[in-house]
Amino acid sequence: MKRTSITSRRGLQPMVEAVNRRHDSRPSVEFGLMYSAQEPTGEVLMGDGTVTDLSPTGLGIRGNTFVSPGEELTIFLYLPDGQDPLFVMEAKVAWASGHRFGVEILKMNLRERNRLRYFLRANAAHID
């Protein structure tokens, strides 16, 4: 875990200590996705939006449907590689602020995980 101190303008004492809990860096990207979840009431939540950053373990999203921290989602990523959407079986909402939220990838099959790693490696120079 990286810890970052944010100090006042005069640099006297730390005002806030922010904690970056990410295990991997997340380069900025922008491509489409769809997400869904089963609500406690039994209703199905459906949304789409844009991936704003991506790593092998998580992603940032700007979506059209509100989600709550702790909610579990299924996600389809429309990688700009011309293939079928990449399927994330299970992801957990780590934080949410309005239409923006971040998720941790919990479950993907090996083929999809390898495809994501390959995409990130192949595009590393282009997505900074």
Q: What is the topology classification, in CATH, of domain 24-122?
A: Thrombin, subunit H (2.40.10)
- Cα 113 to chain centroid, rounded: 14
The confidence score (pLDDT) of residue 128 equals: 45
CB distance 50 to 60 below 8 Å:
no
**In 10 A of CB 29, how many CB atoms?**
21
Q: Where are the domains of the chain?
A: 24-122
Torsion of CA 32, 38, 39, 40, to 10 degrees: -160
Which amino acid is residue 30, in one-letter code? E
The confidence score (pLDDT) of residue 88 equals: 98
> Measured between alpha carbons, how far is 126 from 50 in angstroms, rounded to an integer?
18
Task: Kindly give the confidence (pLDDT) of every residue in the chain, 128 residues in length, as a single tens digit, with 9 standing for 90 and above.
Answer: 334 333 334 444 443 333 445 444 555 668 999 999 998 899 999 999 999 999 999 999 999 999 999 999 999 999 988 899 999 999 999 999 999 999 999 999 999 999 999 999 988 755 44
